[in-house]
Amino acid sequence: MTGWTEYALALVLFMGSHFLPRLGGLREVLIARLGRSVYFSAYGLLSLALLVWVIVAAGRAPYLELWPQLPWMRWLPNLAMPLAAILVTCGAGLPNPFTLGGGRTRFDPAAPGFAAVSRHPLFLALALWAGTHLVVNGDLAHVILFGSFAGMALAAIPAFDARARRSLGAEAPAFFDATAIFSLAPLARRDWRRANLRGVGLRAGLGLGLWFAALHLHALVIGVSPFPV
């Protein structure tokens, strides 16, 4: 299998794994037969395996430079990834069923939690990761890879918001008034800080710890040092 063939196959399978289950109610059928926990555990493992394959295949594809990597470019992911890591750890299990990684509980506008800061934190984290790595990696294979991820993440935000409007109906205005795509304004509100700051602080600390570990393992795992030179 040539480098481009493997890369194209890995990319198609990864993208397909995210869209095919939604066609014809396939996901609902599988959840009914396997149970939610089994389905999402298996789906998560499959997605992770395909993601690793796509990244490895991109590195194996022929190198066709579209723009050179300049030293200042490495600052972009190094500055963005701490925020992306915090968005991931604070957004996992978010009490918002209308986003990636959101919990199944019904959204309460009176207690939006981290959704007041961002109702789509995992999509924003993916866009930050992909967008900043796109600038650094100017070869064709990685431009396709990171461009696809960034585009998919940014396109998903209005798509999920439209789904929320359809599902919530008359309750939609309260949902959107209590949340934001991204806003730091809740941090200035005493009532929000009293209810959420401790939990958000612990999750943010976990995110920074994961970012620090990933930063220092990057060269070992990916084979490229992330530090500016």
Tens-digit pLDDT profile for residues 127-138: 999 999 999 999
Dist CA 53 CA 13 (whole Å):
10
The answer to whether position 116 is within a domain reads yes
Planar angle of CA 174, 168, 89, nearest 5 degrees: 75
Query: Would you say 103 and 94 are in contact if contact means Cβ atoms under 8 Å apart?
Result: yes
Whole-number Cα distances in Å, 176 to 153, 182, 214: 19, 12, 34
Q: Are residues 138 and 50 in the same domain?
A: no
- At 216, list the tokens: 């220092």
The answer to whether position 227 is within a domain reads no
Q: Are residues 53 and 146 in the same domain?
A: no
State yes or no: pLDDT of 73 exceeds 90: yes
Q: Are residues 82 and 148 in the same domain?
A: yes
- At 2, list the tokens: 């040539």
Q: Are residues 83 and 55 in the same domain?
A: no
State which of 17, 46, 62 marks the end of a domain. 62
Query: Would you say 163 and 157 are in contact if contact means Cβ atoms under 8 Å apart?
Result: no
How many domains, the chain?
A: 2
Q: What is the mean pLDDT of residues 5-19?
A: 88
Which residue range(s) make up the domain with 28? Answer: 1-62
Q: Are residues 54 and 69 in the same domain?
A: no
Q: Are residues 173 and 82 in the same domain?
A: yes
Dist CA 37 CA 137 (whole Å):
37
Name the more confident of 52 and 86: 86
The three-class DSSP label of residue 104 is coil
Q: What is the mean pLDDT of residues 138-152?
A: 94
